[in-house]
Amino acid sequence: MSITSALVLYAVLWFLTLLIVIPIRLKTQGDVGEIVEGTHAGAPAQHNLKAKAWITTGVAAVIWLILFWIISQGIITVRDFDWMNRLPPVGE
Beta carbons of 9 and 70 less than 8 angstroms apart = no
Parse the chain into domains and list their residue ranges. 3-81
pLDDT of amino acid 67: 96
**3-class DSSP state of 8:** helix
Instruction: Tell me the per-residue pLDDT of 33-90, one tens digit each, with 9 for 90 and over.
Output: 888 889 888 888 888 899 999 999 999 999 999 999 999 999 988 889 889 988 888 8
CB within 8 Å of 28: residues ≥ 6 apart:
41, 42, 43, 44, 45
> CA 67, 62, 78: angle at the middle one, nearest 5?
10
Q: Is the pTM of this model over 0.85?
A: no
pLDDT of amino acid 68: 95
Instruction: Tell me the per-residue pLDDT of 6-45, one tens digit each, with 9 for 90 and over.
Output: 999 999 999 999 999 999 988 888 888 888 889 888 888 8
**3-class DSSP state of 38:** coil
